[in-house]
Structure 1
Amino acid sequence: MADLINLFIDDVAVSVPKGTLIVDAAKRADIDIPVFCYHPKLKPVGMCRMCLVQVGRVKLDRGTGQPVLDANGSPEIAYGPKLETSCTTPVEPGMRVITNTDLVKRAQKDVLEFLLTSHPLDCPICDKGGECPLQNLTLTYGPGVTRFDYADKQHLDKHYPLGELIFLDKERCIQCARCIRFQDEIADDHVLGFYERGRKMQIETMSTPGFDSKFSGNTTDICPVGALTTRDFRFRARPWEITNVPSICPHCPVGCNISLGTRRSAKGGGEWEILRVMPRQNEAVNEIWICDKGRFGHHYARSQARLQKPLIKKEGRLVEATWEEAFSLIADRFRAANGKAAGWLGDRVSNEDAWLFGKLFREGFNSAQLVNRPHVAGLDLVARYGVGVGTNLGNLGQGDVVFIVAGDVEETAPVHMLRLKAAVERGAKLIVANARETKMDRYAAISIQYQPGMDTQTVYSLLASVSNQQSAISSQVAKFAPSDNKIKAAGQLIAEAQNLIVMLGDERPYPVMVQGQYTDAGRALAQACANLVVATGHIGKANNGLLPLWPHNNTQGVYDMLSAQGAEALSGEVKALYLVGTDPIGEGQNLPPTDFVVVQELFLTPTAQQADVVLPALAWAERDGTFTNAERRVQRYYKALPPTGQAKADWEIFRLIAEKFGLKWSFFSAEGVMHEIAAQVAAYAGLDYVCLAETKEEWPPVGTSSDLYFGGTAYDNRGGVGAQTKSLFEINGRSELKWIEPPPPSGQSIEPRRLNRPGTLIDQSAIYEVRLRAAELVKIEA
């Protein structure tokens, strides 16, 4: 490796890249230097002085600038007169660092004594007890007694609400500023700050409402003491009482790795429940961050409103029934439909569920009418031209360009926003095109605000400015040659890009009538984005291609499973309709005319209330499965809770119904279903639950040290880092440019995406209700 620096730490030879801080170099040599303010994801500030070490540098001749050699021909080492902070001092060639001299030990003890002068003895009741860096480091490095007079202790607020979700114990705070720095440097939400000075210094919220950030919960993870706690976990359990189960966030297309902290509840009669959700480190996906929706939006899994038993409509009312009654009725009515059956499948279910749903329709119901809801344009194009295997937003930097069109990354895929901001700081260029301003405009090299409904035309103007080569669509693209200097400049960035990712959103008008026919503006935009990456050659390799801002967690996976089985759109008469994990009536839409409706859900939604049969399904935390995120990374999640009532996993329900049609499927676990998927879906070839559970060493090793070296409660990845599937272009090398005429601006309204918006699941998470905001309608001018 180029630019390696060789040095010694406690007489251990270490080689690390140039620019590495001493504290990180020591960690690579498995030498722990205690820290409080330092965190490898934040900029070093040297505030707490806990990481003081003795540093010796090679002595240089003032005249020649060459090392001064001793009698043995070795460079002489000159130690500085004072200790130095290892969290702010980069390594140098030949440097010698000593972390355990008497002077260093005295400094560490003194720093801890200062920190503990007014720190309360709350360990027996503190939420951080058992995983607290201050507690651990005090036992290892601190004094056994204090010289400070108890009467002089500072007494401050102990249950101070910074916001609706985060509480601050001001007495426990050690002023490391990690929370402030996270909000300033990572989240770019400047909502926390210091108030007062000296011993009276306190953390205060600077926003209205308090602590107004989509990432506030991360501050509780990186807080090295119990000063910051979450509203739903504080005083609920001790860390050693919790069983942590690896999982995947069930909300957005990022696919953040999480750990579900579970325990039996005394108040709940001994039932298992999720007490907290913590990030699980995966540097290729979410690093160590999650948004507040992923952290607090899990309570629906144990909602009292969950469906417990099957329901059948009798005399106009839904009444409880047995599974056998429900299955027999479904079999009779779908058999009578004689192939005129249709299925609507939501995009939150697992890959295994989606596969068996399609298989049930194909082999049992003799129908291929399957709809992936909600309707999303461009799924097939992402499957073909999506970002290549090895894509990692954390690796983007100089020479890389990301183009975001018709999407709000912060609202749709929040953690992507954090990673793109960091990529820009490393030198990547960001181009943002939207009909409205978004937070991503802060980091954009070029921001293009187009007339609402002109998104596709904007993409083609970019393509016209980039490519002069003749192609199948050259003449059509030429009509959109840009006159706007911003678009020309953006085209120049794309033309010079070594790597290009196009992030495709869906903030656009709904399908509208044009010349007597409905035109899907989303399809036209998706095709334009596909043409852009194909025409410029940015497909089939890492950090190149389409990266969609899908509405939910498994939009891509559900499409993959249904399309592989020849799913078709609804057409003709529908005598029996089967809906799973979707609520079109609740979304203001109508069901197609039909004689019989089955709904498989967690709750009695407006659609379920109109059904003839309602089947209770398991929540994601109650079963095993996989999701495929927007980068087409297949990730495994694990059962963390026992079933609610008589509910069953979706895939199991499909298998039991199939038995009524004489089908003998040998699936007795989700893992078995994945074996068939791997055998029949080209992009998923070679995947199984074993390879999806494989882990790898992560750097920085946050949360893996026995002493919680980096002072956080993010967990190392023990559930697997997943596997990214190949795009169809990577499999067969086929690409084409296809023209879809951009529809004119419609004059209709679009609905900007909102992370915190009401919905079937999030409405059941009462703790998060305070963050819900109604979606704002923006009127488009024709």
Structure 2
Amino acid sequence: MPKLTINDREIEARDGAMIIQAAAEAGIEIPHYCYHQDLPVDGNCRMCLVEVEKMPKLTPACATSVSEGMVVNTHNERVKEAVRGVLEFLLVNHPVDCPVCDQAGECRLQDYYMVYGLHTSEIPLEMKVRKRKVIDLGPMVVLDTERCVLCSRCIRFCDHVTGTGELQFFGRGDHVEIGTFEDRPILNPYSGNVVDICPVGALTSRDFRFKCRVWFLHSTDSVCAGCSTGCNARIDHRDGAIFRMIPRRNPDVNKSWLCDEGRLSIHEIGRGERVRRALIKGRDGMQAPASLGEALDAANTGLREAARKYGGAAILGVGSASATNEALFLLARYVKGQLGGDQLEFRLDSEDRKALEPEDKILRRFDKHPNSMGALALGFAGDEIGGIEGAISKAREGKIKAAVILYYKPLVTRETDALAEARIAELVSLLEFSVLFAAHKADWQTDAGVLLPVAAWTEEEGTYTNYQSRVQAALQAINPPGDAQPAWSLLAALLEASGDTSVWSSSTDVLSDMKQAVSAFAGIDLDSVYSQGALISTNGAL
């Protein structure tokens, strides 16, 4: 690993690293537009020019590899003057419409101007080259060619990541602009990423456009729950409303990308009526509202009575591949430890057996649940049941009399979802007693003995295990509605009501217990779980 000096500071860099990468890893920022760590180097913006000792001219940091003994200066007057010159050229024909630009507040052109620019434009507005504005490029992207700095990030993304090549340069001289042939829409399933990587306001999101100024938003690190890839993401929200989800870089999972399905899945939480209060079925067969305490007591009483009457083998625990590891762990603990049951299941349809199969060569996977591998590691795929169809058969035969069920509607829908929901509804209708944890209402839930309101994905903290068997944390962004609580919290209360002496005040407490109780999770490091994720060992097949 070569050692070099940057701004009088000696650092050690990776072999083959470029100066800009070595500087970034050492916490030294070099201004840039065209460089992106997950795209091929282009070197066209000239913003990252640095001075290297013994080199007569300034050199682009993004295209110059480090070497032993190299001496680099990134902020002397010679470098600053070069950067100021580049900025001045970029601003010659820029519309300077920051007050109405969605990128304001997170725009590199604004940021660098405040550091390196602060000059008065020599070109009056009426003499600037005018280009096209507000060009609709499909369901995700709006283009404003006047704001573009021609960094080519979006072009390289479409060429080298998706391989679809929609965007290109058109025109000559100071009339060059980006666009698509005949303004055709960008329809690849990752089109939203060109908005994320645009350093200025040339490409903006149709979904987020004019919704909220970014400085009003609060950001929460999370994991996309749209499929089993578990892309790392950041959720931006304000006053209990979610405005957008954008990728958070993890080189081992999703790099800097997020598919459009996952990006838009945040809106699914607000669609449909939420379960806001607990309901208990009375002797007249009708459900009536109840407090959480009353509902938990009724759930525990009904399940323990069924276990006493028919034995633990008649009790089924149905987990969800969309539930957190913590919720699944406590569900299994309750069914096994308090009810004497050993039958656990989570597979609702044949599509859930595709957890390891990719839908494309980039990120998307056929399994539209974030935690199938976690459910597998926690023992929810026993051979004695064989999926939801096996559970229905046993219920018809009278071998299963009661169940505790976690149910979440998938955020990304597929054709088999309706059938999967119909199967769980059929199971509930066949049981003498059932306790259902749900976030969204459905007609079939009236068959449940007790219905408990649970928080949705963005409303709770917990971990998910992706298809790589990587455990990753998602933090709580907003509060759940009504009396809804995270499923792990309700299950912890249910365990307490049944006599379990453990105390869990957070999902991290549950994860710590899980490490001790489940061998697959024993070796994970909690700090890693909350940063880049931690791999566990899983075996078996869905």
Do Structure 1 and Structure 2 share a fold, with TM-score over 0.5? Answer: yes
Structure 2 residue aligned with 1:692: 526
Q: Structure 2 CA distance, aligned partners of 1:123 and 1:292?
A: 27
Q: Is the contact between residue 93 and residue 146 of structure 2 (CA under 8 Å) also seen in structure 1?
A: yes
2:319 aligned with 1:342: no
Alignment of 1:457-606 (within 5 A): 550-562=367-379, 570=391, 571=394, 572-573=397-398, 574-581=400-407, 586-587=419-420, 588-589=422-423, 591-592=426-427, 593-605=430-442
Amino acid paired to 2:97: D
Equivalent in 348, 358, 375 of residue 374 of structure 1: 348
1:186 is displaced (CA, Å) by 1.8
SS of 1:219's equivalent in the other structure is helix
Structure 2 residue aligned with 1:722: 533
What is the TM-score with the length of structure 2 in the denominator?
A: 0.83
Deviations 1:67-121 (A, max 9, x none): xxxxxxxxxx4625xx443333445666665545655444322221121122222
Q: Structure 1 CA distance, aligned partners of 2:184 and 2:286?
A: 44
Structure with max Cα Rg? 1
Structure 2 residue aligned with 1:168: 143
1:198 is displaced (CA, Å) by 3.0
Q: Structure 2 CA distance, aligned partners of 1:30 and 1:663?
A: 48
Amino acid paired to 1:37: C
Deviations 1:309-333 (A, max 9, x none): 1234566665534334533443443
Equivalent in 243, 253, 256 of residue 275 of structure 1: 243
Deviations 1:593-650 (A, max 9, x none): 3233433211123542543433211112212211112222222222221121111221
Q: Structure 2 CA distance, aligned partners of 1:323 and 1:585?
A: 29
Q: Structure 2 CA distance, aligned partners of 1:44 and 1:245?
A: 30
Q: Is the contact between residue 586 and residue 607 of structure 1 (CA under 8 Å) also seen in structure 2?
A: no
Q: Is the contact between residue 352 and residue 372 of structure 2 (CA under 8 Å) also seen in structure 1?
A: no
Gaps of 5+ in 2: 410-416
Q: Residues 163 and 79 from structure 1, CA distance in 2 versus in 1: closer, same or farther, beyond 3 angstroms? A: same
Equivalent in 264, 281, 289 of residue 257 of structure 2: 289
Q: Structure 2 CA distance, aligned partners of 1:581 and 1:556?
A: 17
Amino acid paired to 2:372: T
Structure 1 residue aligned with 2:21: 24
Q: Residues 613 and 213 from structure 1, CA distance in 2 versus in 1: closer, same or farther, beyond 3 angstroms? A: same
Structure 1 residue aligned with 2:86: 111
Identity of paired residues, percent?
Answer: 34
What is the TM-score with the length of structure 1 in the denominator?
A: 0.59
Q: Structure 1 CA distance, aligned partners of 2:516 and 2:405?
A: 27
Equivalent in 136, 153, 161 of residue 111 of structure 2: 136
Q: Structure 2 CA distance, aligned partners of 1:207 and 1:651?
A: 52
2:227 aligned with 1:252: yes
Amino acid paired to 2:109: L
Structure 2 residue aligned with 1:310: 278
Deviations 1:465-518 (A, max 9, x none): xxxxxxxxxxxxxxxxxxxxxxxxxxxxxxxxxxxxxxxx9xxxxxxxxxxxxx
Bigger proportion of residues as helix: 2
Gaps of 5+ in 1: 57-76, 265-271, 380-404, 418-504, 506-548, 696-718, 730-737, 739-782
2:36 aligned with 1:79: no
Q: Is the contact between residue 16 and residue 25 of structure 1 (CA under 8 Å) also seen in structure 2?
A: yes
Amino acid paired to 1:674: L
2:488 aligned with 1:651: yes
Higher relative contact order (CA 8 A, sep 6+): 1
Structure 1 residue aligned with 2:509: 672
Q: Is the contact between residue 49 and residue 85 of structure 1 (CA under 8 Å) also seen in structure 2?
A: yes
Q: Residues 410 and 585 from structure 1, CA distance in 2 versus in 1: closer, same or farther, beyond 3 angstroms? A: closer
Q: Residues 116 and 670 from structure 1, CA distance in 2 versus in 1: closer, same or farther, beyond 3 angstroms? A: same
Q: Is the contact between residue 436 and residue 451 of structure 2 (CA under 8 Å) also seen in structure 1?
A: yes
Q: Which shows bigger deviation, 565-574 or 255-264?
A: 565-574
Aligned residues between the structures: 515
2:478 aligned with 1:641: yes
Q: Residues 247 and 98 from structure 1, CA distance in 2 versus in 1: closer, same or farther, beyond 3 angstroms? A: closer
Amino acid paired to 1:169: D
Q: Structure 2 CA distance, aligned partners of 1:324 and 1:30?
A: 51
Q: Is the contact between residue 599 and residue 607 of structure 1 (CA under 8 Å) also seen in structure 2?
A: no
Q: Is the contact between residue 352 and residue 625 of structure 1 (CA under 8 Å) also seen in structure 2?
A: yes
Q: Structure 1 CA distance, aligned partners of 2:119 and 2:181?
A: 38
Amino acid paired to 1:42: L
Q: Structure 2 CA distance, aligned partners of 1:564 and 1:679?
A: 21
SS of 1:676's equivalent in the other structure is helix
Q: Which shows bigger deviation, 650-659 or 674-683?
A: 650-659
